Each structure stands twice: as C-alpha cells, then as structure tokens.
C-alpha cells in the first residue's frame, strides 16, 4: 500500500459518518467472516483488518484469529483491545501482528485467510506477491477469500447507494446524508482522484489466483454491505475446486 493510503487509514478520516456506522460496518463484516470459518478449530488470518471492532465474533467461531494490520496506530488500538502477538489480552484467541511478522509464520498455518477491502489500495504486483505468500500459509484444505473487489465499471455512486441502504436499515440515514457531503471535500476523495483505486475484471482475479496456485471461483456474495463489489473464494490447487 502506498504511504499516502496507509497514512490516510491510520489517521482521522471521514469514511465513517459516525460511531454507529463504524460499529455496524465492522459487525456485519465480522458476522460474514464468522460464517466462512471452516471449523471451530480453524486458524484464521484477517489481513488488512482495520479496527476490527467485532473480531471477537470471528474468534468465537474459530480456534485462533490472527489480525494483521500495517497501519501502526490502528495496530496499537487492536493490541490494546485484544492483546498482542502472544494472545495475552482480553481475548486469548486473538493475536495482533504486523505484515513483517506474517512473513515469518510457518507454512500451512491457516485454514482460512480473508483479505477484505484491501487489494484496491495495492498495485497488481503487490497483490500477486501477497497471493504467493498466502498460498504457502494456507493449509492444503484451506480457503482464501478476497472481498470487496471493485470492478472497472464500479462507481462511487453505487458505493453511496449501498451505504444509504445500510444506513436506512440501521438508524443513521440522516447522518449519512451529511457524511456524504463531507466526503466530497475529504482527503479520501482527493486521494482517490490522485492515486485511483485498482480495479479488476472477474477474469483478471481468476487468472491471478490461478497463476498463484489456487483453484478459484467467484463467491455468490461479497462480504459486507456493498454487493456491487465482488468477492472470490479459492483453494490451493492441490486441494481441488470448491
């Protein structure tokens, strides 16, 4: 991730219109990920997890949850909330690590790896390098989920409509209207205009995952509230197709 995007996500930003929005956002993601955990004994890696406010929901469905976050201040908040890389905090099933620690983990460490709303901020080469790393970290029968992939025809207006639907269903609609106006003048809109977001056709992601040694397919639904974006599920090729 470029330093500009990393600094943005590690600081104060206008992405969430209020605390209710942030709570609902992370709870929905946690519930969706928990449903994907393959067994109560599975070790799960959430790469680029952000604040992961409801990580305990995922941890309750798994044997262990590893939260990997590059942004230093965000990672410090996670460590304060859940404990550090020894799982000694309030929830001993949760560990918090930096990306450089992930690279030192043993092969075949995880039954599920989730990468949600991350690769749009990476270059294609960075994503390919991650996929190669994940291929080694997954157990032979493990599952990789890539969520929130933005297609080339994806529009900011679609994101706004998805957010308004979420807000209407969860009691922060008026705040969202004001928040969308603020977003027009925010650092996020400026960065998105300057740096852009990496977008993929469905076939491009399938090809990248195949080249990294996976047997991939598009998932029936995206993680989270925005179903205009895409998600993909993949097994290490030796395990066969889903």
All domains of the chain in start order, with CATH: 3-237 (3.40.50.150)
Q: Can you spell out the DSSP letters for 171-217?
A: T-HHHHHHHHHHHHTSHHHHHHHHH------HHHHHHHHHHTTEEEE
pTM: 0.91
Confidence (pLDDT) at 48: 96
Distance CA 82, CA 67 (A): 10
- 4 CB contacts (<8 Å, ≥6 apart)? 191, 194, 195
Rounded to the nearest 10 degrees, the angle between the axes of helix 173-184 and helix 19-36 is 100
User: 94 near 69, Cβ under 8 Å?
Assistant: no
Confidence (pLDDT) at 157: 83
Q: How many CA atoms lie within 13 A of 210 on its CB side?
A: 9
pLDDT tens, per residue, the chain with 242 residues: 677 778 877 877 778 889 999 999 999 999 999 999 999 999 999 999 999 999 999 999 999 999 999 999 999 999 999 876 555 556 789 999 999 999 899 999 999 999 999 999 999 999 999 999 999 999 999 999 999 999 998 777 888 999 999 999 999 999 999 988 887 766 666 666 666 789 999 999 999 999 999 999 999 999 999 999 999 999 998 755 44
Distance CA 144, CA 226 (A): 20
Rg (CA), the chain: 17
CA 61, 64, 66, 67 torsion: positive or negative? positive
Q: In 10 A of CB 25, how many CB atoms?
A: 21
Confidence (pLDDT) at 84: 60
Confidence (pLDDT) at 189: 67
Residue 41: strand, helix, or coil: coil
CA angle (69, 31, 175) in 5-degree steps: 80
Confidence (pLDDT) at 235: 96
**Residue of 105, 91, 92, 86 lying closest to 47 (CA atoms):** 105
Confidence (pLDDT) at 90: 62
Distance CA 7, CA 126 (A): 18
């Amino acid at each position: 991730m470029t330093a500009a995007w990393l600094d943005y996500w590690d600081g104060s930003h206008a992405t969430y219109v209020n605390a209710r929005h942030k709570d609902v956002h992370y709870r929905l993601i946690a519930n969706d990920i928990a449903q994907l955990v393959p067994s109560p004994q599975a070790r799960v890696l959430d790469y680029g997890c952000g604040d992961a406010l409801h990580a305990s929901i995922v941890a309750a469905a798994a044997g262990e949850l590893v939260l990997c976050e590059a942004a230093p201040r965000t990672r410090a908040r996670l460590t304060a909330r859940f404990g550090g890389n020894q799982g000694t905090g309030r929830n001993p099933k949760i560990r918090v690590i930096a990306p450089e620690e992930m690279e030192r983990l043993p092969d075949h460490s995880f039954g599920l790896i989730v990468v949600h709303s991350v690769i749009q901020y990476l270059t294609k080469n960075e994503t390919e390098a991650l996929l190669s790393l994940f291929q080694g970290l997954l157990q032979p029968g493990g599952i990789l989920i890539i969520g929130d992939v933005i297609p080339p025809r994806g529009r900011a207006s679609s994101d706004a409509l998805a957010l308004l639907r979420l807000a209407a269903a969860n009691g922060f609609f008026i705040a969202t209207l004001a928040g969308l106006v603020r977003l027009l003048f925010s650092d996020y809109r400026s960065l998105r205009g300057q740096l852009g977001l990496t977008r993929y056709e469905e076939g491009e992601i399938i090809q990248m995952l195949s080249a990294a040694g996976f047997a991939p397919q598009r998932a029936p639904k995206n993680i989270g509230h925005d179903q205009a974006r895409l998600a993909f599920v993949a097994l290490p090729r030796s395990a066969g197709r889903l």
